């Protein structure tokens, strides 16, 4: 998206401003806040869509969550989700309207592959969770149901897809037969006809403006007793803070902290780099994978698995620097490989009239194997 001069000016003012309106952390209510700022080229802390929303980020020194100073208007946010946020790069603009393919390329495939993180978590780390064919599963922010389709193909269940996007919900119903899927009205109060064994939020939890309110509603009104919650979110240590729809950014400690506060016991949490986004910023720490269970224990008695970072901002900025060097080294490597391949192709073009097919084929195979 193009950035107007006015947006750039407002952006500079927002980033430079040392006065913020939030006086306490929305998670733990602490007043121990400070501005979080990153000028890293690959991992900036300013909005990638300033024409939609400009913000500055605050860091809570107590629970270590990073969050927007002022949240965007919820109606404006819902409209953005249904328009530009999920606009396809393959959109065709006509006189009367715009038309888009029925699936999001490549994001539908990425959503499908994210199922592997859940599968590995259940198979290797939390054996107590067994998904059965008749289990009720709700996928919050599931859009077109790709993650739910992977669940269906693996366990035979029919998840409920819950999303703001009406076209995505209709696709999940018509393509996959997820008949109970529904368009979101109010995620903090919407209920379903039956309690769920598992609720999932795959890169959706970071979008919630009121995570404590949602988790409380989820535990009291949505999940079965001792029901499970699966969350995948961007990792504050290894993901750019540039998405104006990400109200919060978590690390392992802050994610576990908010879950504990709301009565969830974390069974497993880890950093992970799958699937690759192929956007040049891929790394092995960019996602947090978490599986938790609702518990009747008092929040203060729940044992936390992760330790609090000593200096989160310093640690994040240092990790950004390390990731930046890796990205640049990888880019130079790709340039070198491309040059060598082009030299090899040129060599083949020159010698092809003199060599037979078998020799050319064997040479090409050797070059591919060398740079695989």
Report residue 131 as tokens: 């998904």
Helices (H) and strands (E) in the chain, counts: 10, 13
Distance from C-alpha of 147 to C-alpha of 94, rounded to nearest angstrom: 32
CB 134 within 8 A of CB 180: no
Distance from C-alpha of 161 to C-alpha of 174, rounded to nearest angstrom: 12
What pTM was computed for the model?
Answer: 0.87
Nearest to 86 by CA among 154, 10, 171, 159: 171
Please name the fold of domain 102-309.
Answer: Rossmann fold (3.40.50)
* Per-residue pLDDT, 21: 58
What is the b/e burial string over 124-162, where b = at least 16 CB atoms within 10 angstroms of the residue's CB? Answer: eeeeebebeeebbbbbbbbbbbbbbbbbbeebebbbbbb
Has residue 339 got a pLDDT over 90? yes
> Mean pLDDT in the chain?
88
DSSP H stretches of helix in 2-105: 5-16, 74-82
Sheet holding 33-36, edge to edge: 33-36, 57-60, 66-68, 248-249
Identity of the highest mean pLDDT range in 14-23, 223-232, 343-352, 358-367: 223-232
If one counts every other C-beta atom within 10 angstroms of the C-beta of residue 234, the result is 20
* Per-residue pLDDT, 106: 83
Please name the fold of domain 5-80.
Answer: N-terminal domain of TfIIb (2.20.25)
Distance from C-alpha of 24 to C-alpha of 256, rounded to nearest angstrom: 19
* Per-residue pLDDT, 17: 41
Q: Residue 69 class from Cβ within 10 Å (0-12 exposed, 13-18 middle, 19+ buried)? A: middle
């Amino acid at each position: 998206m193009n950035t107007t001069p006015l947006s750039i000016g407002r952006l500079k003012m927002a980033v430079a401003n040392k006065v913020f309106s939030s006086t306490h952390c929305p998670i733990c209510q602490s007043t121990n806040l400070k501005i979080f700022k990153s000028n890293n080229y690959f991992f900036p802390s300013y909005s990638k869509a300033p024409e939609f929303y400009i913000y500055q980020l605050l860091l809570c020194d107590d629970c270590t969550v990073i969050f927007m100073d002022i949240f965007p208007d919820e109606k404006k946010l819902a409209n953005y989700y249904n328009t530009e946020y999920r606009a396809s790069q393959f959109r065709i603009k006509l006189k009367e309207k715009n038309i888009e393919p029925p699936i999001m390329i490549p994001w539908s495939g990425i959503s499908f592959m994210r199922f592997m993180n859940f599968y590995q978590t259940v198979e290797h780390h939390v054996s107590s969770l067994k998904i059965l064919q008749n289990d009720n599963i709700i996928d919050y922010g599931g859009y077109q149901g790709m993650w739910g389709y992977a669940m269906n193909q693996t366990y035979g269940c029919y998840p409920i897809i819950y999303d703001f996007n009406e076209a995505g919900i209709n696709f999940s119903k018509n393509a996959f037969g997820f008949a109970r899927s529904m368009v979101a009205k109010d995620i903090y109060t919407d209920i379903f006809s039956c309690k769920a064994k598992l609720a999932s939020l795959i890169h959706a939890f970071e979008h919630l403006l009121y995570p404590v309110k949602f988790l409380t509603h989820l535990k009291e009104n949505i999940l079965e007793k001792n029901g499970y919650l699966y969350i995948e979110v961007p990792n504050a240590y290894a993901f750019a803070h540039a998405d104006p729809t990400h109200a919060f950014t978590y690390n392992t400690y802050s994610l576990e902290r908010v879950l504990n506060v709301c009565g969830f016991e974390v069974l497993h949490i880890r950093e992970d780099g799958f699937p690759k986004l192929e956007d040049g910023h891929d790394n092995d720490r960019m996602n947090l994978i978490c599986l938790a269970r609702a518990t009747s224990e008092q929040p203060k008695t729940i044992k936390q698995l992760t330790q609090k970072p000593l200096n989160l901002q310093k640690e994040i900025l240092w990790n950004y620097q390390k990731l930046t060097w890796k990205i640049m080294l990888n880019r130079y490597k790709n340039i070198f490989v491309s040059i060598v391949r082009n030299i090899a192709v040129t060599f083949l073009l020159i010698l092809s009239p003199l060599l037979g097919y078998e020799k050319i084929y064997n040479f090409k195979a050797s070059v591919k194997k060398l740079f695989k």
